[in-house]
């Protein structure tokens, strides 16, 4: 193990990949020693000095720990781009979030952020549609999009699923998506569900004069099967496919992004399971990194949290995810462990707020997110006392009130669905 990786005088090159880590050394290990081991293991080195690592090779490829703040338990490491297969998310993660998370020299270690150099951005397509493309696809430019998740999560037949989707569209939803654990079960097979639901989306389009999008979940056991399902959607005239990004995995996402070009489909990213490695603030990989990888690969829209809903996620964290989705240039924020990122030509992603939302939360959601957000309501639509269509209508009414600057209570005086929603979700 070489000992010269701490190099606070080093200025990172434009071509370096930079990572910020939170490090908690284990007992008896000092901070710089832990950082040195971590930097070496994530790049060229081993636990002991290796004779096959020549000084010349080390000089060329060694990691530079150029920022060390022991009080804040933070280091930043610059890695030469030569260490990476530039277009491979799995390879980058095997390096900077691989073995190092298991090392005994640390009690906890967290990859907080990765700043990707231009040379790496170059190898990725980014979103095909992205936020502007989705606005065009849906024909909705000036307001948040309203979506729902067919509930119950699983158990409905394909016919019943399509009917619930239709009522949601008819009531006012722009988008209807499958839930994360609905794929191709016996009671509701993929192909039949896609066919029936897309047909009723079309019917709702002609009845309402609005574009209606169905986001069918193509998550499957193999990439081959996911591509097959994607092609079924294409043949049925769908605009979207949905994927459970963490269970499916990074290789699957990169594969699907390639295929999405041919299929002409937008990709909706459900982040279920991310908390397995993002939730512990002292260990693992941050959700910020997950979001950046999604934008790099080219998912068009991503669940980022709600602040006010049922899922874990502080406001500052959710807003930093929103910024990473939508901004072309993300400024550094030392306190939030965010590195500066210029996204170059890569389009912005549409942020999705989903999980435990009710129509009565729309004013707060609008204050938090502004207009560039997809607000999704599962229980908040299908638990409406007057039914699914009324639940969707209540969401649209709450949004209209918010956009007009009228209080929900005032608007509800002439909008029955909203009045009932307020009665259910605000008065109890
Ligand atoms: O997939 C999702 O985002 C959730 O199913 C949302 O459902 P909920 O609004 O009922 O929490
Ligand atoms: Mg869900």
Question: Which residues does residue 269 pair with via DSSP β-bridges, in sequence order?
Answer: 243, 302
Of ligand 1's atoms, which has the minimum distance to the CA of residue 377?
9
Known catalytic membership, residue 268: no
Is the pLDDT at 1 greater than 90? The verdict is no
How far from 48 is each of 36, 300, 425, CA to CA, in Å? 12, 44, 61
Q: Is 354 annotated as a binding residue?
A: yes
Q: Which ligand lies nearest to the CA atom of residue 361 in the structure?
A: 1
pLDDT score, position 428? 54
In a domain, 265, yes or no: yes
Alpha-carbon gap, residue 325 to 383, rounded angstroms: 31
Residue ranges making up the domain that contains 151: 130-425
356 annotated among ligand-binding-site residues: yes
Per the CB < 8 A criterion, the answer to whether 302 and 287 are in contact is no
Structure letter (DSSP) for residue 99: G
Verify whether ligand 1 is closer than 6 Å to residue 379 (CB atom).
yes
Longest dimension (CA), the chain: 80
Domain stops at, among 97, 121, 145? 121
Interval between CA 368 and ligand 1 midpoint (Å):
19
Contact 375, 395 (CB under 8 A): yes
Q: Does 215 have pLDDT greater than 80?
A: yes
Report the number of distinct structural domains present in the chain: 2
Cα 392 to ligand 1 centroid, rounded to whole Å: 14
Residue to mutate, 219, 301, 354, 381, ligand 1, most ligand atoms under 8 Å from C-beta: 354
List residues bridging with 106 in a β-sheet: 25
Q: Which atom of ligand 1 is nearest to the CA of 303?
A: 3
Separation of alpha carbons 166 and 187, rounded Å: 19
What is the distance between the alpha carbons of residues 417 and 394, in angstroms, rounded to a whole number? 5
Residues 202 and 278 in one domain: yes
Q: Note the pLDDT tens digit of each residue in 44-93.
A: 999 999 999 999 999 999 999 999 999 999 999 999 999 999 999 999 99
Indicate the SS3 state at residue 155: coil
Q: Are both 311 and 390 inside the same structural domain?
A: yes
Contacts of 127 (CB under 8 A, 6+ apart): 133, 267, 295, 298, 299, 300, 346, 347, 348, 349
Protein residue with least CA distance to atom 7, ligand 1: 378
Are 155 and 114 in the same domain? no
Examine residue 62 and state whether it is found in any structural domain, yes or no: yes
CA distance 389 to 380: 12
Q: Is there a domain that residue 413 lies in?
A: yes
Question: In terms of Cα–Cα distance, which of 11, 9, 13, 38 is closest to 23?
Answer: 38
Instruction: Determine if residue 379 is labeled as part of a ligand binding site.
Output: yes
Q: Which of 215, 227, 6, 253 is nearest to 124 (CA)?
A: 253
Query: 142 and 73 in one domain?
Result: no
Q: What are phi and psi of 24, to 5 degrees?
A: -120, 100
- The pLDDT of residue 374 is 98
The annotation status of 119 as a binding-site residue, yes or no, is no
What CA–CA distances, in Å, run from 289 to 46, 85, 92, 97, 174? 26, 18, 12, 10, 29
CB within 8 Å of 133: residues ≥ 6 apart: 127, 266, 300, 347
Single out the catalytic residue among 128, 167, 212, 270. 270
Whether 408 maps to a domain, the answer reads yes
CA 132 to ligand 2 center in whole angstroms? 25
Pair 218, 344 in one domain: yes
Q: pLDDT tens-digit profile of 224-283?
A: 999 999 999 999 999 999 999 999 999 999 999 999 999 999 999 999 999 999 999 999
377 is known to lie in a ligand binding site: yes
Task: Give the tens place of pLDDT for each residue, 315-331.
Answer: 999 999 999 999 999 99
Is ligand 1 within 6 A of the CB of residue 305? no
**179 CB less than 6 Å from ligand 1?**
yes
- CA–CA gap between residue 320 and residue 298 (Å, rounded): 19
3 part of a folded domain = no
Query: Are 226 and 337 in a shared domain?
Result: yes
Residue 52: exposure state from Cβ atoms within 10 A (0-12, 13-18, ≥19): exposed
In a domain, 189, yes or no: yes
To the nearest whole number, what is the mean pLDDT of the chain?
Answer: 97
Are 141 and 33 found together in one domain? no
Tell whether the model's pLDDT for residue 421 goes beyond 60.
Answer: yes
Are 63 and 41 in contact, with CB atoms under 8 Å apart?
no
270 counts as catalytic: yes
Q: Which of 101, 121, 141 is the last residue of a domain?
A: 121
177 assigned ligand-binding residue: yes
For residue 28, the domain's CATH number is: 3.30.70.150
- pLDDT tens digits, 144-177: 999 999 999 999 999 999 999 999 999 999 999 9
356 lines ligand 1 (CB under 6 A): yes
Q: Taking phi first (over 0 means left), then psi (-120 to 50 degrees means alpha), and beta for anything else, what does residue 197 get?
A: alpha
Task: Convert the pLDDT of each residue in 294-309 to its tens digit.
Answer: 999 999 999 999 999 9
Q: Could you read off the pLDDT of 23-38 as tens digits, one per residue?
A: 999 999 999 999 999 9
Q: How far is CA 103 from the centre of its chain?
A: 28
Residue 11 in any domain: the answer is no
Please check whether residues 79 and 52 belong to one and the same domain: yes
Q: Answer yes or no: is the C-beta of 391 below 6 A from any ligand 1 atom.
A: no
* Atom number, ligand 1, closest to the C-alpha of residue 379: 10
> What's the CA gap between 68 and 22, in Å, rounded?
10
Beta bridge partners, 377, equal 148
Q: Which of 22, 64, 151, 167 is catalytic?
A: 151
| Residue at 10 is within a domain | no
Task: Give the full edge-to-edge strand order of the sheet including 17-25.
Answer: 64-69, 74-79, 17-25, 106-115, 284-285
223 in the same domain as 143: yes
Same domain, 116 and 59: yes
Any atom of ligand 1 within 6 Å of the Cβ of 25: no
Residue closest via CA to ligand 1's atom 8 equals 378
Q: Is 217 in the pocket of ligand 1 (CB under 6 A)?
A: no
Q: Are 301 and 352 in contact (CB under 8 A)?
A: yes
The response to whether residue 376 sits with its C-beta less than 6 Å from ligand 1 reads yes
CB 109 within 8 A of CB 331: no
- Within this chain, do residues 282 and 412 fall inside the same structural domain, yes or no? yes
| pLDDT computed for residue 192 by the predictor | 98
How large is the ipTM?
Answer: 0.97
Q: Binning pLDDT at 50, 70 and 90, where does residue 2 land?
A: low
Helices 250-263 and 223-235, packing angle to 10 deg: 30
Which CATH number characterizes residue 380's domain?
A: 3.20.20.110
Q: Are residues 252 and 351 located together in one domain of the fold? A: yes
Instruction: Check residue 403 and give its pLDDT.
Output: 98
Last residue of a domain, one of 88, 121, 154: 121
Burial of 140 (0-12, 13-18, 19+ CB in 10 A): middle
Q: What is the pLDDT of residues 79-123, one digit of tens each?
A: 999 999 999 999 999 999 999 999 999 999 999 999 999 999 999
Please compute the mean of the pLDDT values over residues 370-391 and round it to a whole number: 98
- Identify the pLDDT of residue 3: 75
Taking alpha carbons only, the member of 178, 171, 304 closest to residue 238 is 178
């Amino acid at each position: 193990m070489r000992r010269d990786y701490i190099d606070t005088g080093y200025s990172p090159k434009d071509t370096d990949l930079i990572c910020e880590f939170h490090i908690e050394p284990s007992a008896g290990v000092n901070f710089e020693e832990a950082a040195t081991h971590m930097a070496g293991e994530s790049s060229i080195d081993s636990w002991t000095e290796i004779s096959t690592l020549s000084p010349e090779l080390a000089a060329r490829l060694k990691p530079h720990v150029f920022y060390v703040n022991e009080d804040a338990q933070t280091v930043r490491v610059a890695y030469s781009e030569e260490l990476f297969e530039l277009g491979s998310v799995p390879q980058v993660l095997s390096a900077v979030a691989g073995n190092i998370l298991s090392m005994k020299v640390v009690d906890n270690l967290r990859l907080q952020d990765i700043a990707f150099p231009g040379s790496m951005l170059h190898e990725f397509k980014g979103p095909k549609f992205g936020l502007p493309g989705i606005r065009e696809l849906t024909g909705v430019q000036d307001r948040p999009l309203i979506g729902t998740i067919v509930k119950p999560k699983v158990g409905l037949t394909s016919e019943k699923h399509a009917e619930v989707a239709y009522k949601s569209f008819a009531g006012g939803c722009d988008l209807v998506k499958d839930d994360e654990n609905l794929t191709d079960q016996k009671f509701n097979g993929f192909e039949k569900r896609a066919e029936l639901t897309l047909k009723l989306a079309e019917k709702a389009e002609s009845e309402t004069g609005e574009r209606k999008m169905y986001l069918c979940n193509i998550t499957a056991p193999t990439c081959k099967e996911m591509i097959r399902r994607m092609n079924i959607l294409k043949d049925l005239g769908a605009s979207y496919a949905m994927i459970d990004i963490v269970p499916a995995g990074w290789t699957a996402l990169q594969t699907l992004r390639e295929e999405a070009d041919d299929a002409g489909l937008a990709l909706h990213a459900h982040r279920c399971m991310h908390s397995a490695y993002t939730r512990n603030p002292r260990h693992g990989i941050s959700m910020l990194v997950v979001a950046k990888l999604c934008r790099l690969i080219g998912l068009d829209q991503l669940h980022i949290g709600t602040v006010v809903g049922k899922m874990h996620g502080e406001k500052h964290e959710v807003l930093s995810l929103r910024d990473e989705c939508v901004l072309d240039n993300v400024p550094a924020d030392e306190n939030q462990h965010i590195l500066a990122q210029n996204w170059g030509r890569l389009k912005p992603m549409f942020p999705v707020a989903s999980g435990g939302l009710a129509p009565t939360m729309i004013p707060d959601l609008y204050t938090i997110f502004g207009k560039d957000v997809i607000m999704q309501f599962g229980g908040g639509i299908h638990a409406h006392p007057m039914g699914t269509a009324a639940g969707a209508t209540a969401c649209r009414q709450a949004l209209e009130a918010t956009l007009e600057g009228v209080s929900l209570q005032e608007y509800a005086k002439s909008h029955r669905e909203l009045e009932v929603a307020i009665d259910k979700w605000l008065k109890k």
